[in-house]
A and B are shown apart, each in its own frame.
Chain A
Amino acid sequence: MVEHGDIRVVHRGGSKIDFRQPVITNDSRFLLCASGECVKVFSTSTEECIHDLQGHTDLVTGVLLRPSNHLQVYSCSIDGTVRLWDFTDGILIKTYVIGCPVYSIYASANHEGVIFIVVPMLGDKRSELFQLVAVHLPQSGDQLVESRELSAVLSNVSSNPADIAFGRGGEYIASAKGLQLKVFFFKKQKSYEFSLKEDNKKGGLNTFTCVACHPKDDCIATGHGDGKIRLWRNFNHKKEYTYSTLHWHHNAVSSLCFTPEGTNLLSGGVESVLVQWRYNQESQRDFLPRLGAAITHIAVSPDGALFCTSHSDNKITIIQSCVKVSAVIQGLVKGDVQTDLIVDPRSKALVLNGKPGHLQFYSLQRDKLLYNLDIVQQEYIHELGLEQFEVVKAAFDASGTWLATVEERKQKSAELEVNLKLWAFDEQTQSFVLNTTISAPHEARITAMCFRQATDSQTTMLVSTSKDGHFKAWQLATPAHTEGPSWSCDFVGTYHGLVPECCCFSADSSLLAVSFQEVVTVWSPTSWELLTTLSQPPGAIRDLCFGRLSCSKYLLGTTAKNLLCCWNLLTCSLEWSTSMDISLLLADPLSENMAAFCCQAGCTDLFVFKPSEPRPLFSHKAVCSGTVTRAVFAPREKMLDSCEENSQWLNRSQLHFLTQYMDLMTFTTKAEDDRLMASSKQLVIDDSVAMTPFYLLLGKHRHQQQENQDPMSSLSAERTPLPQSSVAIKELLQTPAHVLPSTSFLCSMFVQSLLISVTDLRSNHSERHYPQMEKTWNSGNQQHLFQENPDDHQMICRLHLPQLRSICT
C-alpha cells in the first residue's frame, strides 16, 4: 500500500465561527473568533478575514484579550495549551503548556499574571466534571513555557464558558451550573451558593444557562431555561440575597452581556432578537429583531460602540449601537446537513443545506458564502420543537442547468409531506428559477435521486427512488396548453415489491442501476427494459457507483454486510470483491478514481483506488473519528501537476468531507501548503498596516510604488535599514514635548527633512519607512521591545502628529 506521505488532512474553510464568544479589539477594528484549530481575525468594517492565528493542534475553545496589553490575545485549546498572540501581525508570542484539555479561559486586570481556566476535574479528557483553576503564568523569555502549577478556585463548574463570569473589577467570580449559582470572593476567600427550585409552578425550567456580571455594581445577571433573566443582588449574604426577574424571552436565554459602562444589559436566545435592557429601568427595553438565526453569543467592544452576536447558523453579526447591522460575517452554515455534498457544475461552489429551508452555495476557494437559494419559500418560525419543511435531497444535472430538490415535513400526527421541485438556471439573472413543483411525487420518503448525464440527442431525465417501492423517471415535456416546458412522470418501475435504495446512471447515460435491497437491477433508460440483475447477498446495497472513463464497464456497490463488490457489466459477473465496512463510496467525475471511506474501530480510513487496479492509489488511516457519511470531489480551478504517485489523485479534483461534528475537512499536498503559506504571508503584510495618520499622509505614495514593484523585491526592500532622515523624525517624536525647542524652529527643520527625503528618494522606497517603522516594533525579531511598551510608541506618534501637521500647513 502507498502511505500518505506528505498529504495531510486539514480544515480548509467552513469551520465553525460561532463556537465561542468572539472578541472585539480595543480599537473596534478587528474581531477575533475561535474557528476550528485556529483563531480568525476579521475586519469589523469589511467583513474580510485578515488572517488566521494558526498553531493549535486541536479545537480552540476560547479567545480572550490580555487585560494588561490590549494588542495581545490569549487562546486556549483542547490540545492542552494556552497561547499568547500578537493579533495585528498574527505572531505567536508564547505557548504555555497546561497539560490537560482547556475548555474556557478567563482573566481580569485585577489578577496580574494569572489566568483562570476550566479543565477536567481529574485531568483526563473523558471526565464529566470540570473545575476552575488559576494558572500563574511564569515570567520567562522562552517561547514555550511549561506552566503546570494549577490552583483550584471552584470545583464542579460547567464547561460552557458562558456559565462563568468575573464580577466588578475581578473581586469575585460567579459560576452557574444546573440549578446552582456560586459566587467566590477572592479577598475573603469565601464562596456563597444559591439554589433554585427544580421547577416552578408553571412548568418553566429554572436551570441556569448563562451568567454576566455588572462592571460597576455588584449585580449578577443570570439567564434561565425558561427565558427568564434574574438580577441577583446582596449575594454576600446566605439568606438575605435577593433577585428580580425580567421576562421577555420565551425560550432559553443563551447569552447575556453588560455594556462596558453597565448602562445596558444585552440578551439573546432562539428568538433571534437582540434585547437591550436599560439597567435599573428594566421596563424600558429595545429590540433588534430579525437577526436570522438563534443567538448563541453576544459580545460588546470595549468602547461600547459595537455589539456583535454569534448565531447558530455560523454567522457573526456586527451591530452599531444596537440599531444598525453594519456587517455580517457568514461562515458555512452547518445546521442539520441532510443533503449530500454537491458541487454546482457552473460555479464550482459547494452546495448543501444552508439556512432553514435554503440551499447554500459556498465557494471553497474563497472560503465564502456565495448565496442562499430559498427552496421551501415559506417563512421560518424561530421556535424550538416546531416541525417545518426541510430540504433533504438535491441534485444537479451535468451542465448545471437543472437543479432538483426534495423537501420534507414530518409531523407526528399527520402524514409525511414531500415536495419535489425542479429549478432551471436562468442565464439573465444568473440564478435558479423554480420550474416545476411536484407535490407528493411518491407516497413515501424519497431515498435517492439522480439526473441522467444528457448528451445532445437525449432529453434531460431525473430518476427518483422511494420507500414506497417505486422508482420514477421524470422528463421535461412541453404540454400544448401551457407556456413553458415542465416536468412530468415518464415511467414508474418496481421490482418484486422491494424497496429501492440507490440509483445511478452510467457515465454515458445508457444504463441505469437501481438497487432493491440486496439486488441491483440494471435498466435501459431509453426502452425501460430490465437488462440484468446483479446480486451478492447477504446484505442490502448501501452505495452504487459506475466507473468512469476507462473503467466505465465496472459497477461498484457496497453492502451493509461489509462487502465492496465490483461487477463487470460486459460479463455481468462479479469481477472482484473485498470485505470492508464502507460508509461512503464516491466516484471522482474527472478521473477513474474512487474514494471509499471505511469505518473501523471508531475511526474512518480512506482508500482511493481505480476499479481496474488491484492496488489502492492512496490510503490514509484514521482520517477522523466517527463515520464519514458525506463527501465530495470538487474539481480544481487549476490543475496541479504533481507527478508523485500518491498525490496524483488530487491533481484534478480535491476531496472534501464532513466529519461527525460537521467539520469540513480536505486533503492537501505539501506543495500546495507551501504555495498557500507564501500567499498568505503577503496578505498579512498588506492588511495589517495600521491606519495611522502617517499612513494617511504617505500611504498613497506607497501604493503607487507597490504597483511598480514585484512582490519579491518589495519584501526584500522592507528589510533594508531605515534612512537617516527617519531617525531624526523618530528622535523628534520620542522627545517629550516640554524639552523640545520652539515649534517655529522645529517646523522648518521638520519640513526640510521631509522635503529632502521626498526629492531624493522618489524612485526609491524611503516614504515607506513611517508605516514600516511601526511594523518593526511589532515584528518578530524585535520582540523584547514590543513586550516592554509597544503602545507607548504609537501613542507618541498619535499625540504629536496632528500638532506637527498643523504646523506644517
Chain B
Amino acid sequence: MGEFKVHRVRFFDYMPSAIRAMAFNSRTERLAVARADGAVEIFNFSDNYYQEKVIPGRDGRAVEALCWVGQRLFSAGLNGEITEYDLENLKPQYVIEAYGGPIWTISCNNQGTHLAVSCEDGTVKLFEILKEKIQFQRNLDRQKSRIISLSWHPSGAQIAAGMMDMIRIFDTETGRATHRLLVERGVGASKSREVVVWSIAFLSNNTIVSGDSAGKVQIWDGLMGTLVRTHLVTKWDVLALAVSQDESSLIAGTSEGTIVQFQFLSSTVDRQDRDHEWVRTRTFKNHSHDVKALALTDTAVVSGGMDTQLVVHPLLDKVEKNTQEAAQRKIAFPHRSLVGCAKKAGLLLFQFPDHLELWRLGESDGNDHICCSALSPCGGWLVYSTVSSVRLYKLQHNNNISVNKVRPQQRIIQLRSVHQLCFSADSSKLFASSSQSSVVVVALNQLECKYLQTLRHKSGHSCPTAVAIHPTTNNLISVHADQQIFEFSLQQKEYTEWSRKLQKQGLHGLWLKRDTPVTSVGFNPKNPTHIILNDTFMFCIIDQSLPLPESSTILYNQMTLRSLPAPERTRQSHAFKICKNFQHVLSMSLLDDLSLVVVERPLLDVMAQLPPPVRQKKFAT
C-alpha cells in the first residue's frame, strides 16, 4: 500500500449544535431532529440510520418542538411561529404566526386532523390540518401560567397539558378544563421554586405520566384525577418522556444524562391480564449532559441532548442478538463532508453553518445556512449551496485571494436541493448528487457553466453518501448509505466489470457492519487502480487489481500482513486495505504529491466546548 506523508489537521473547530427536539415517524421510519441552530435533520432508520436530509437553519429560528403529521413535518419555536417544511426542496414551505407568544410544544392527535400548540400566554391553540396548510380553529380555556407540555389522548377527546405546578386536562369538544392535578414541588431549598412539568404523556387507559423539574416521574389516574405513584428518578430535572407504540414501555430523560425505562408489567407471571403496574427497570447512561429529546421506536431508545450526539440504543429484548440492529450507534458528526480540498493547490475549505473558511474566506450573505460546499482540485473554483441557491465562485490567488461570483447562464432547476458537490480532476466538470437518488453533471468552462446530463441511479433504494469521478478512466464511483460501492463508466454508460464482480460476490460482512457512512471518495494520482475512501473511523484504499476479500478472510489485516514474509504477504492481501489510525475524521484527501491531508475533530475537543454538566455525587468523591 505504501506510505504517505500525513498532514494532520486539527484546527477545524467545527462544533455541532445541541439537539432540541425529536419526532419519529414510525410509518416511514424517519426521525426528524431539530438542533439549537434551527437546523432540522432527517434520518432514515431503514437506510442504515443515514442522515438523509438536512434543512439548514436560519438565524433567529430556534425550533422547540417537531411533529409529524403523516408525511408532513411541522415545527414550532419560541419565535411564536409554526413552520411546515418542504421535504423535497429542503426548505420551509410556509410559516404561520400563532399569536400566543413563544410556543413551547406542538402536538398532533392520532387521527391527524388537528394540531395543538401550547403558548407562553397560557393558551392551547387548536389548528385544523388542511391539505396544503393549517388553519386556526380555536383556543382551549386560557390558564394563568405558560403551558410547557401537551399530550393528546389517543381518542382525541382530551388533552393533558403540563404547566407550572400543575397538570390540566382539557376536553377538546368543549374546550373546558376538566381536571386539575397539582404537582408537588421538590423538597428542601427547591420548595419555594415552582415545579415545571417538562413533559407529559396521555395513555389510552387514561393514565397520565408526567416528568417534572423536581426529578419525579408521576403516574396519574386521568379519570379520577388522582396520583397513583411517584418515582423519584433524579435530583435534577426530568426533561423528556417517550412512550412506546404499544404503551408497554416508557422512557424518561434527565438532566444527568441518564434515561430511565419504565415497563408496564404484571406483578405475577401467570396472570397476565391483571395487576399491571409501571415498574422502573433499566437505566441507560449514554449522555454527559441534559437529555432533551427522546423517541422510543419498536426496537431502540433514541436520544439526544446538549452533548450534540444522537444515540440509538437498541433494546436487547426486542432485537436479535449480533445483528446490525443490536449495535448501539452514536451519531456525532454529519454524514457529509464539511471540508473541501484543492488537491493541486493545496487549499482547504471548511464549512460552518454560517460561513466558509478558506484560510478565512469571506462570509456568506443572507440568513440562510450553508448546506454543502466544494473546492475544485486546481483551486480555481469554489461552489456552495444554501437552501435557496447554489453559488459558484472563481478564485484567483496570486498573492492575495480574490473571489468572483459566477452566475449560471441558464437556471438549472436540478441544482436546487443538493446533497453533495464535487469537481472532476481537471476542474472542467461539476457533479452534484441530489436527494432523488440522481447525479447531476455540470460542465464548467472558463466563463460559463452549462448543464450536461442527469444520471439516474438504477438501484435507487439507498442514498449515495459520496461520489467521485476517476481522473483518467472517467469512471464515477459512488458509495451508498448501505455501504455498497458502485463504479459507473461514463463512456459506456453502464456499470464497469469490477463493479459487477463486486456486486456478484458481495461485500465483506465487517465492511457492511460499519456504522458510519463513507464521506469522501478519492483516487491515487500515481496508481489509477487505487480508490481511496474514508469514514469517521477509518480510511481505506481499494486496490482494484487485487482479488476481493472472501467472507471468510480477515478484513482488517494490515497489521498481520506487516509481520508476514513477502511471498505470504502477497498471497494474503486483498483489495480492501484499511487503516484505523485516525479517530473522528471529518475529511481525508490525497494530494498530488502523495501526501495525505487528514482533518480530525476529536470528540474530546467537542466535549470540552460544552457547558459543564449538572453536578452529580460520585461515589468516593
Binding site for B on A (CB under 8 A): 168, 171, 216-219, 233-237, 239-245, 250, 280-283
CA distance A217 to B268 in the complex (A): 5
Residues of A within 8 A of B269 (CB): 218, 234-236
**Docked pose: A216 CA to B267 CA in angstroms:** 8
Interface window among B278-286, B298-306, B359-367, B466-474? B278-286
Known: A218-B269, A234-B265, A283-B232. A241 touches B317 (CB 8 A): yes
B268 touches A250 (CB 8 A): no
Which residue of chain B has the shortest Cβ distance to A232 in the bound complex? B281
Using known A-B contacts A239-B317, A250-B619, determine if residue A282 contacts B280 with beta carbons closer than 8 Å.
Answer: yes
List 12 extra interface pairs beyond A241-B317, A281-B231, CB under 8 A: A217-B268, A233-B263, A233-B279, A233-B281, A236-B269, A240-B317, A243-B281, A244-B279, A250-B619, A282-B280, A283-B231, A283-B232
B281 contacts A242, C-beta separation under 8 Å: yes
Contact partners of B620 in chain A: CB under 8 A: 250
Nearest-neighbour CB distance to chain B for A484, whole angstroms, equals 44
Q: Contact mask B399-443 → A, CB, 8 Å, 1/0?
A: 000000000000000000000000000000000000000000000
Pick 30 A–B contacts, CB within 8 A, sort by A: A168-B268, A217-B268, A218-B266, A218-B268, A218-B269, A219-B267, A233-B263, A233-B265, A233-B281, A234-B263, A234-B265, A234-B269, A236-B269, A236-B270, A237-B317, A240-B317, A240-B318, A241-B317, A242-B281, A242-B282, A242-B317, A244-B279, A244-B280, A244-B281, A244-B283, A245-B282, A250-B619, A280-B277, A282-B280, A283-B231
B71 CB, min distance to chain A CBs, angstroms? 32
Ranked nearest first, the 5 interchain pairs of A and B with the lowest CB-CB distance are A217-B267, A236-B269, A218-B269, A244-B281, A242-B281
Cα–Cα distance between A235 and B231 once the two chains are bound (Å): 23
Query: What string of 1s and 0s marks CB contacts (under 8 Å) between B245-289 and chain A?
Result: 000000000000000000101111110000001011111000000
Nearest CB on A from B35, distance (A): 29
Chain B residues numbered 563-621 whose CB sits less than 8 Å from any CB in chain A? 619-620
Q: Across the interface, do A243 and B282 meet the contact criterion of CB distance under 8 Å?
A: yes
Q: In the complex, are the beta carbons of A244 and B282 less than 8 A apart?
A: yes
Whether the pair B232, A242 counts as a contact (CB closer than 8 A) is no
Contacts of A240 in B (CB 8 A): 317-318
Which residue of chain B has its CB nearest to the CB of A250? Answer: B619
CB within 8 Å for A218 and B281 given contacts A240-B317, A241-B317:
no
Nearest neighbor of B248 in chain A, beta-carbon distance: A240
Main secondary structure of the interface of B (DSSP, over half): strand
Select from chain A the residue with minimum beta-carbon distance to B230: A281
Q: Which of A171, A216, A280, A282 has the most CB of B within 10 A?
A: A280
Docked complex Cα distance between A281 and B217 (Å) = 12
Chain A residues with Cβ below 8 Å from B283 are 244-245
Which B-chain residue is minimally distant from A237 (CB atoms)?
A: B317
Within 8 A of A (CB), among B230-247: 231-233
Q: CA separation between A241 and B315, bound complex, in Å?
A: 11
Scoring B residues 303 to 336 as 1 if CB is less than 8 Å from chain A, else 0, what string do you get? 0000000000000011000000000000000000
Contacts of B263 in A (CB 8 A): 233-234, 242
Q: What separation, in Å, do the CA atoms of A281 and B269 have in the docked complex?
A: 20
A244 / chain B contacts, CB cutoff of 8 Å = 279-283
Across-interface contacts of A250 in B (CB, < 8 A): 619-620
Measured CA separation A236–B620 after assembly (Å): 38
How far is B430's CA from A609's CA once the two chains are assembled, in angstroms? Answer: 108
Name, among A217, A219, A241, the residue most crowded by chain B CB atoms within 10 Å (CB to CB).
A217
Beyond A239-B317, A241-B317, A242-B317, whether A218 also contacts B267 by CB under 8 A is yes
Distance in angstroms between the alpha carbons of A774 and B318 in the assembled complex: 62
Contacts of B266 in A (CB 8 A): 218
Chain A contacts for B317, CB-based, 8 A: 237, 239-242
Which residue on A lies nearest to B321, using beta carbons? A239
Give chain A nearest CB distance to B286 CB in angstroms.
12
List residues of chain B with CB within 8 A of the CB of A243: 281-282
Q: How far is the CA of A235 from the CA of B266 in the complex (A)?
A: 11
Closest beta carbon of chain B to A779's beta carbon, Å: 44
> A233-B281, A283-B232 known; A242 and B619 CB under 8 Å?
no
User: Among A219, A240, A242, which residue has the most Cβ atoms of chain B within 10 A?
Assistant: A242
CB-CB under 8 A from A216, the residues of chain B are: 267
| Contact residues in B for A236 (Cβ distance below 8 Å) | 269-270
Task: Determine the residue in chain A with the shortest Cβ distance to B278.
Answer: A280
| Residue in chain B with minimal CB distance to A217 | B267
Question: Please, which residue of chain B has its CB at the minimum distance from the CB of A262?
Answer: B267
- In whole angstroms, how far apart are the Cα atoms of A508 and B527 in the complex? 101
CB-nearest residue of chain B to A247: B619
Set of chain A residues within 8 Å of B318, measured between Cβ atoms: 239-240
Q: How far apart are the CA atoms of A280 and B267 in the complex, in Å?
A: 11
For A239, what are the chain B residues with a Cβ–Cβ distance below 8 Å?
A: 317-318
Residues in chain B near residue A219, CB distance under 8 A: 267
Cα of A734 to Cα of B270 in the assembled complex, Å: 44
Bound-state CA distance A236–B265 (Å) is: 12
Contacts of B270 in A (CB 8 A): 171, 236
A746 to B619, CA, bound (A): 71
Contacting residues, chain B, for A237 (C-beta < 8 A): 317
List residues of chain B with CB within 8 A of the CB of A217. Answer: 267-268
The distance in angstroms between the C-alpha atoms of A240 and B233, with both chains bound, is 23
Q: When each residue 462-500 of chain B gets 1 if its CB lies under 8 Å from chain A and 0 otherwise, what string results?
A: 000000000000000000000000000000000000000
**Distance of A236 Cα from B231 Cα, bound (Å):** 26
Q: How far is the CA of A245 from the CA of B279 in the complex (A)?
A: 12
Q: With a CB–CB cut-off of 8 A, which chain B residues contact A218?
A: 266-269
Q: Closest CB of chain B to A217's CB: distance in Å?
A: 4
**Assembly CA distance A240 to B267 (angstroms):** 15
Q: Return chain A residues, CB-CB under 8 Å to B267.
A: 216-219
- How many whole Å from A735's CB to the nearest CB in chain B? 43
Q: How far is the CA of A350 from the CA of B6 in the complex (A)?
A: 77
Task: Report the Cα distance A233→B281, complex, angstroms.
Answer: 9
A340 to B39, CA, bound (A): 78
How far apart sit A242 and B279, CA to CA, in the bound complex (Å)? Answer: 10
Which residues of chain B have C-beta atoms less than 8 A from A241's C-beta? 317
Q: Which residue of A lies closest to B320 (CB)?
A: A239
Chain B residue contacts of A235, Cβ below 8 A: 269
Q: How far is the CA of A237 from the CA of B263 in the complex (A)?
A: 14
CA distance A235 to B265 in the complex (A): 11
Q: How far is the CB of B267 from chain A (nearest CB, A)?
A: 4
Q: Give the docked Cα–Cα distance between A281 and B232 (Å).
A: 8
Q: Are B265 and A242 in contact (CB under 8 A)?
A: yes
Q: How far is the CA of A217 from the CA of B265 in the complex (A)?
A: 11
Nearest opposing residue in chain B for A235, CB measure: B269
